[in-house]
Amino acid sequence: MTKTFHIVVLGGDGIGPEVCDQSVRLLQQMQPHLDGVEFHLDPHDVGVGEYQRSGEALPDSAFEACLASDAVLLGAMGLPNVRYPNGKEIAPQLDLRERLQLYGGVRPIQLFHESDTPLKDYGAGDIDFVLVRESTEGLFYGRDAVADLSADEATNQLRISRQASERVCRLSFELARRRGGKKKVSLIDKANVLSTMVYFRHIFDEVAKDFPDVTAEHVYVDAMALFMVRRPHDFDVMVTENMFGDILSDLAAGIVGGMGMAPSGDIGDNAAVFQPSHGSAPDIAGRSLANPIAMHLSTAMMLDWLDHPETKRGAEALKAAVADVLSDPNQRTADMGGKLSTVEITDRISRSLDRQLQGQGSTA
């Protein structure tokens, strides 16, 4: 019997649709090779463009479709110069995370080729860790507040709840166990200053007791910014508060080639959204300069998460095709010093994907 997966596709703004279209193309290419699996792709307009057309950045019809889907593929949303009348940027991905309770912002960081890291002089070695960012509260809890420019001060709230912390810590320990590598989870906090972080650490330690086979450690966020650059090979899974995770995930992307190499999955108990960690990159949009690899790796994460033997095979094949193309340092987009366009690098990944799916492996 054929299993149909309903996948909502939200291209979004700027380079979002450019990279998303290329991943959709690879999904369509893959489908006939996967036994008993069918993808039903359901595109919706969201983001700034949709806000300008309809007054809604995330129309109800798009949200309902996400709610009913097996998974969501998202390009990027937002443009720095288009704002709501209250002055705030349009960021419906945050609404999706909160409304779908996508508490685990899973952001893998992997170096595919040593030529792509600026850390060569530090002997950075293998870089392969996952940053898990709590994505429903933390310092983003105050995001609805509107700045009163005539006031004498402005404050935001940082919220750490037991429920949200337990579930994101548990997800992180389970991930470390599943990865089966160093089996280590590093909590990134600021417990030397903030009581919310003392509380977060307490909950992390409680959850850690259920995973005696996984090493648990605490690292202050400022120190982690240093360690990520000086000894990234020491880490396996990291878990942290929303804003720390937002900042550190861009830093982490920088050590493996940039935002175009940083995939992500926003995971909840009943829904998940897969998107690159990068934004709409208005500085390069519309010129086929965007690196689509973060989007392709996010698509591979989605296929893995769908948890069917054939989609898992598709995920492995797609990841292997990306690795195959990157094994030749001459095959890069402009952000990584190369000359290939968004479409051209996907052409190469597509050719390799065919080989991977036919079990022929690498020819690069």
Ligand X SMILES: CC(C)[C@H](C(=O)O)[C@@H](O)C(=O)O
Interface residue list for ligand NAD (CB under 6 A)? 15, 76-80, 89, 91, 93, 259-260, 275, 278-284, 290-291, 294, 335
Could you give the CA distance from residue 30 to residue 33 in angstroms, rounded to a whole number? 6
CA distance 247 to 342: 26
78: contact with ligand X by CB under 6 A: yes
Smaller CB separation from ligand X, 277 or 311: 277
Residue 252 Cβ vs Mg ion, minimum distance, rounded to whole Å? 11
Helix, coil or strand: residue 213: coil
Task: Work out what residue 94 binds among ligand NAD, Mg ion, ligand X, none; the CB cut-off runs from 5 to 8 Å by kind.
Answer: ligand X
Partner that binds at residue 66, options ligand NAD, ligand X, Mg ion, none, CB closer than 5 to 8 Å by kind: none
- Which residue, 168 or 297, has its beta carbon nearer to ligand NAD? 297
Residue among 42, 81, 40 nearest 62 (CA):
42
**3-class DSSP state of 39:** strand
Q: For Mg ion, which residue has the nearest CB? A: 246
Among residues 296 and 332, whose Cβ is nearest to ligand X? 296
Q: Angle between the 221-230 and 242-254 helix axes, to the nearest 10 degrees? A: 20
Nearest distance, CB of residue 49 and Mg ion, angstroms = 20
Q: Which is nearer to Mg ion, 134 or 246 (CB)?
A: 246
Given its phi and psi angles, is residue 12 left (phi above 0), alpha (psi -120 to 50 degrees) or beta? Answer: left
**Of these partners, ligand X, Mg ion, ligand NAD, none, which one is at the site of residue 280 (CB under 5 to 8 Å by kind)?**
ligand NAD
Contact footprint for Mg ion (CB under 5 A): 246
335 contacts which partner out of ligand X, Mg ion, ligand NAD, none, CB within 5 to 8 A by kind? ligand NAD
Q: Is 277 in the site for ligand X (CB under 6 A)?
A: yes
DSSP 123-156: T----EEEEEEE-SSBGGGGTT----TTSS----
Per CB under 6 A, the list member of 11, 257, 279, 314 interacting with ligand X is 279
Residue nearer to ligand NAD on the CB measure, 259 or 349? 259
| Burial bucket for residue 29 (CB in 10 Å: 0-12, 13-18, 19+) | middle
Closest CA to 215 of 183, 171, 177: 183
Residues that bind ligand X (CB under 6 A): 78, 91, 94, 246, 277, 279
